[in-house]
Chains A and B, each alone.
Chain A
Amino acid sequence: MERWNFGANREVMIAPSGTTVRGVLKKIMENLDKDDPSRPTVPLGHGDPSPFPCFRTTVLAEDAIVDAVRSAKFNSYPPTMLGLLPARRAIADYLSHDLPYTLTPDDVFLTMGCAQAIEVTIRVLACLGANILLPRPCFPSYGAHASSNNLEVRYFDLIPEKGWEVDIESIEALADENTGAMMVIINPGNPCGSVYTHQQLKKIAETARKLGILVVADEVYHHLTFGTNPFVPMGVFGSIVPVLTLGSISKRWLVPGWRLGWLVTSDPNGILQKTKVVDCIINLLNLISHPPTFIQGAVPHILEKTGDDFFSKIIDILREAAHICYDRIMEIPCITCPNKPVGSMFVMVKLNPSLLEDIIDDMDFCLKLAKEDSVIVLPGVALGMKNWLRITFAVEPSALEDGLGRIKAFCQRHAKKH
């Protein structure tokens, strides 16, 4: 019987299936009834509308990539690990449109999607061995990466009754002198579908400054707003508090599979430079993987040439879908929606299991819904809010109607008899 010296590094196995959206959805999808081919699955659990024809990206973006590939000028390793200069410059210009100061290419670092920007941010801040503040509910990658980097997380509340506003008092109560790092704000909100006002963001900035911590602004859904509040980047308040802005082309251009994102220092006072946070970012970027060179090469064309008509078209579809979603939810007694979604691709709704027979909680609801009606939604427990549900409305409107209709039928079938 042979004996081998090697074994798995258990430290990297942190039960990831419970900690990523992908992992939780996979578990739910395993419950789908494979013997029911009559009805297509309606995927209302994840934020990726790209399979639907109405959400196809602009031909201009495709052309930019094709031109870059055919030019044969981008087959090499990129010259620097921070990103091709024209791409960094284009992103700096693109983001500066909405800021009261100008970003330079040196403020911009290319990443493989916003997902990698999150990973880099957490790893850099884990250097401090301090703690970070995350919103509840929150996109779970933040917690997952923090956990695998031994970084302590504390959760502050978002207030459903107040448009998912940040509970400033809970932040102040949680922060201590070891809250080296930051608080994370996701705006437009995932999972909440909220869009913060200028005033709300300013208050957040001032609070962070008072506490001596920086703000990480996850703006992957930047400009995807269709309510009354316009998108205001957190970087607008960069002179009050240093801001790390995370984003990508994934959502606005509907190409999450292209993996092109950015980590940007929105910090006109250069504090992140002085405190060596930027050095940490650069050192880490020298050790990790990077977007393919030809995708970097296509970025200037994509950012500069995409017309407003494409953006407006997408916003119109999202507005319509959000509206359908909200209206249909109102018709379902066991689900309540405290806030009509005004941005991003999601809405958080509260489940009332007491109105249902034999449904214990949100996870049970989602598992049974998948099995009986081939509809996928995400249980709120994956985001830190048990007995809530996150529903995606960024799908073809007819699929959305179908899906919500089935959810209604499911709830009726499981309603408690009186």
Chain B
Amino acid sequence: MEENGEKRWNFWGMGKLNPQSKTSVRGLLMKIWGSVNKDDPRPLLPLGHGDPSPFPCFRTTPVAEDAVVDSLRSAKFNSYPPTSGLQPARSAIADYLSRDLPYTLSPDDVFLTIGCIQAIEITLRALARPGANILLPRPCFPFYDSYASSINLEVRYFDLNPEKGWEVDIESVEALTDENTVAMVIINPGNPCGSVYTHRHLKEIAETARKLGILVVTDEVYHHLTFGPNPFVPMGVFGSIVPVITLGSISKRWLVPGWRLGWLVISDPNGILRKSGIVECITDCLNMTSDPPTFIQGAVPQILEKTGEDFFSKTIDILREVAHICYEKIQEIPCITCPNKPEGSMFVMAKLNLSLLEDINDDTDFCLKLAKEESVVVLPGVAVGMKNWLRITFAVEPSVLEDGFGRMKAFYERHAKKQ
């Protein structure tokens, strides 16, 4: 059919790629931002997402900026990068991570990715053989589910126990595993929980995974961002008990999520992942996809080797301070309870008690109204798999946090059920 009436085109976007925005952090946050009152003269307080880089107190170290500038100006890194990453960058990451391991990683164990997000993508794709399933924690960083869904990889959820510092419920892991289960994912330090697992607990997880015949994927994007009694212990420490795939990036520790420089590392001294063909699979996936810009890769050695402890300590001190403020302030708001003081990452999970509130239906409703009335954004727990909880970011300027909680308290008082 032509000219008169609609031209018929052979292509009609079927949208097999369905919008994931319902459950994505970004999608829900956009909806909540959308309900902010534009006529409110007060600044919007963003306590919903994990990116403190806009705040001056969270600016990255000049060492990192210099490294990128030097790399660019050298004009040695304008060419296409090699598929798995520039060798000096892979070496530098292997050395950096090996500092905390009882064995030495080789550069061949390290693959560069576009942020930790791409490391997640590649890992899930490499594991997603037909019929496979993976185990995710509940609550979980929502990207795992979105991406798994888009590649038809079945997901099963095990519980994290709020009464026990958000530790993995080992029994629920065992109950969910069958012969098609290939891996379990842990996020440590925890997003959204703010937990930091002990050596003992991580070892227990490793031994359980080994017994079940599954590998462990450990998301350590918040590596070393701990400010409580438990130090950061990488899962790779137990790499000889169970094969571990370690995901990470410079995004959080260096406060540069926009630079998109991450890694996927095989922490597997017994070479089991290589024998199973998974490493080859990862290499093939990377062959087909984009790579981080070459000059950013070129800056990695300098960034990892030359950043001083003072920069890291400074960041930890601020995080410790704001985590403390956050926990204290939550205690002052009756309708929110926090079972565990945050000890790491940039988030805390707080439980909402709807029975103390008039006319608030659930966590999403709470967040939408909070945004509208007080211009404060927090993430409803449904986005991370726990309805009627809230995920609050404390990685902001301390005054912003104080202000945010002040407004949340006012919101509570306005909506409190009259006795």
Q: Which residues of A come within 8 Å of B, CB atoms?
A: 2-14, 16, 20, 22-23, 46, 48, 50-51, 56-57, 62, 65-66, 69-70, 72, 74-78, 81, 111-113, 115-116, 119, 123-125, 127-130, 144-145, 148, 177-182, 209, 211-214, 242, 254-259, 271, 275-280, 283-284, 286-295
Contact = CB atoms under 8 A, between A and B. Distances in A.
B16 A10 contact: no
A144 B289 CA distance: 11
B180 interface: yes
B17 A6 contact: no
Contacts of B284: 12-14, 16
A77 B251 CA distance: 9
Contacts of A256: 78-80
Nearest to B277: A8
Interface in B6-28: 7-21, 24, 26-27
A10 B125 CA distance: 10
A46 B147 CA distance: 33
B20 A283 contact: yes
16 contacts: A2-B210, A5-B181, A5-B214, A6-B182, A8-B281, A12-B284, A14-B284, A56-B75, A56-B78, A69-B69, A179-B10, A259-B291, A286-B19, A287-B146, A288-B121, A289-B290
Given A127-B15, A279-B15, A287-B146, A212 B10 contact: yes
B179 interface: yes
Contacts of B15: 127, 276, 279-280, 283
Interface residues of B, number: 87
Interface in B229-274: 243, 255-260, 272
Contacts of B60: 72, 75
Interface stretch (B126-134, B307-315, B370-378): B126-134
B10 A48 contact: no
A65 B75 CA distance: 13
B260 A214 contact: no
A116 B293 CA distance: 13
A76 B51 contact: yes
A180 B126 contact: no
Contacts of A5: 179-182, 212-214
Given A7-B276, A283-B15, A283-B20, A255 B78 contact: yes
Contacts of B305: none
**Closest 5 A-B residue pairs measured CB to CB?**
A276-B13, A293-B258, A257-B294, A8-B277, A112-B290
Nearest to A112: B290
Contact of B281 (A9, A22, A113, A177): A9
A75 B215 contact: no
Contacts of B291: 112, 259
Main secondary structure of the interface of B (DSSP, over half): loop
Interface stretch (B91-99, B111-119, B163-171, B199-207): B111-119
A381 B260 CA distance: 36
A4 B11 contact: no
A51 B182 CA distance: 43
Identify which of B72, B75, B129, B258 gathers the most chain A CB atoms within 10 Å of its CB: B258
Identify which of B113, B117, B290 gathers the most chain A CB atoms within 10 Å of its CB: B290
B17 A284 contact: yes
A130 B10 CA distance: 9
A8 B396 CA distance: 41
B222 to A, nearest CB: 15
B7 to A, nearest CB: 8
B125 to A, nearest CB: 6
A144 B127 contact: no
Nearest to A281: B13
Contact of B293 (A178, A259, A284): A259
A289 B118 contact: yes
B114 A112 contact: yes
B65 interface: yes
B287 interface: yes
A77 B25 CA distance: 13
B144 interface: no
B208 to A, nearest CB: 13
B175 interface: no
B411 interface: no
Interface in B314-368: none
B17 A280 contact: yes
A9 B129 contact: yes
A181 B20 contact: no
A75 B255 contact: yes
Nearest to A7: B276
B418 interface: no
Contact of A212 (B8, B16, B256): B8
A257 B13 contact: no
A22 B289 CA distance: 12
A48 B79 contact: yes
Contact of B79 (A10, A51, A123, A209): A51
Given A12-B281, A12-B284, A148-B288, A4 B293 contact: no
Identify which of B115, B147, B281 gathers the most chain A CB atoms within 10 Å of its CB: B281
A352 B126 CA distance: 42
B73 interface: yes
Contacts of A69: 65, 68-69
A4 B213 contact: yes
B126 A9 contact: yes
Contacts of B280: 8, 13
A278 B19 CA distance: 12
